[in-house]
Structure 1
């Protein structure tokens, strides 16, 4: 857990890992979109392998107007783009293979030629192998995800990025990567341009619908207004609502890895929709 001062949040970790440096790289990468109207990001003050000091965000009460600004600002952050599917932020330490306790993986340039191929290998099959090897998934569960991955790799679920990402001329959106409600703050100043701010990224290049699906997984105040604000400035591709569960499979599988079998029934029910 971070330690707080009035103006900072301070995280510490073992110097044997690059996790805090990876997080700092993600914060800086996302913050680079602020000038183009991207959502406010907790700014990095100091970063080392064993210590990360970042701005402490002063939070406020949710409002519908702020929610719409959050949605619009998220759309502009996504439109800042990324050079390939699964790419890490540019300041990521060389040799780092991922971030987080389950080592959510990045990908090498050109490793995946499409979103479906990337999502199948680096966000579904990766976690399924862990769950199979530890005995949480048996042959039947593994076969279910094999079918989902085959459809993903075949392009059955590939869809255009939201309009602003497409207009920017990049195939990949610049994702926060862990966009659940606890990482998306409403700001104390309800007149603030972006309405909210983000902390704790696991940033990479992917499909914008993945971030939005994560925000919907556990609920968020005025969620419908966030989505409306997003769609207003960067219209989402047809059928995006039907793909929400597919994008949610990645965080659901990660929760199975981190927290055990309590998430397994929901994860399997969701996967069956896309087999």
Structure 2
């Protein structure tokens, strides 16, 4: 099996793996999928992801594949998609390299170009996932604050409370943020976004940075950029943002709104991984409330 055969017959990949016709080497993946490097007969490699045990949730890998295709349509730097099946996904292998200021600036310009390409609505035309959790991609052409509160904050707030990751005072604070959003004016139109752009979803290659593991959606462009600062922050973040702002200037006050835009992904973490992220949620919610009231 080589790349040409795989492009023509992607459905055969699981059979070749089952019968050990392809060399498979485990590699470090994320907290959700099991990852491996596949070496084909022509010497090229793929990056493959499977569900760790049993079948994945219905539509899990299809959602990521739809996002990769949608981002690629806009010229975003994403890996080539070879296989998108219900039980697995495989993309082109990308050699890793240390991030540089130059590649960071290119990433900033690439993100600006991606966001500027736009989306027809907030949400997406396919059912989504973010990490291991469903993502409500109900499409909306209404104002961003209402969509963000209803489809990106409230579902994960409820899950976090149900799973005892957030306490009643925390929920009250988040309710205040949701209420404030209903009165907050933000005319931003939908951008085509990665949707889960924490630093671990940037793959730095010898030439530039790739966007991986998307939860692609029409959303506010500031959300992508705010997520870059989470969990230690992307390397050379100041260069990424400077190059972005030169290419596609941000609205006044965007820095103060960073915690608001980070709330979505932080709530996803309390909902999926528990109370260890509670302090980060509360800190962001307090700052978000100051920014929008």
Shorter-chain TM-score bucket reads 0.7 to 0.9
1:40 aligns with 2:45: no
1:66 deviates by 1.4
1:48 deviates by 0.9
1:178 aligns with 2:210: no
Distance in 2 (CA, whole Å) between partners of 1:99 and 1:62 is 25
Q: Look up the SS of the partner of 2:48 in the other structure.
A: strand
Deviant stretches of 4+, over 4 Å: none
> What is aligned with 2:66?
25
Post-superposition Cα deviations, 1:24-45, rounded to whole Å, max 9, x if no partner, equal 01001001111xxxx3111111
Residues 22 and 268 from structure 1, CA distance in 2 versus in 1: closer, same or farther, beyond 3 angstroms? Answer: same
Residues 16 and 221 from structure 1, CA distance in 2 versus in 1: closer, same or farther, beyond 3 angstroms? Answer: closer
Unaligned runs of 5+ in 1: 161-170, 190-194
> What is aligned with 2:245?
231
Q: Look up the SS of the partner of 1:54 in the other structure.
A: strand
**Structure number with bigger Rg:** 2
1:109 deviates by 4.0
- Mean alpha-carbon deviation: is it higher for 8-17 or for 216-225? 8-17
Residues 11 and 159 from structure 1, CA distance in 2 versus in 1: closer, same or farther, beyond 3 angstroms? Answer: same
Distance in 2 (CA, whole Å) between partners of 1:244 and 1:43 is 31
Post-superposition Cα deviations, 1:168-212, rounded to whole Å, max 9, x if no partner, equal xxx2111101111121122213xxxxx211111011100000000
CA contact (8 A) 1:15 1:50 kept: yes
1:5 aligns with 2:5: no
> What is aligned with 1:166?
none
Post-superposition Cα deviations, 1:115-144, rounded to whole Å, max 9, x if no partner, equal 100111111111111122233333322221
What aligned pairs does 1:21-170 form with structure 2 within 5 A after superposition?
21-34=62-75, 39-88=76-125, 92=126, 96=127, 98-110=129-141, 113-156=142-185, 158=186, 160=188
TM-score normalized with structure 2 length: 0.80
Distance in 2 (CA, whole Å) between partners of 1:182 and 1:142 is 28
CA contact (8 A) 1:178 1:214 kept: yes
What aligned pairs does 1:183-202 form with structure 2 within 5 A after superposition?
183-189=201-207, 195-202=208-215
1:259 aligns with 2:292: no
Residues 15 and 103 from structure 1, CA distance in 2 versus in 1: closer, same or farther, beyond 3 angstroms? Answer: closer
Q: Look up the SS of the partner of 1:9 in the other structure.
A: strand
Post-superposition Cα deviations, 1:211-235, rounded to whole Å, max 9, x if no partner, equal 0000111211111000011011101
TM-score normalized with structure 1 length: 0.85
> What is aligned with 1:168?
none
RMSD of aligned C-alpha atoms? 1.7
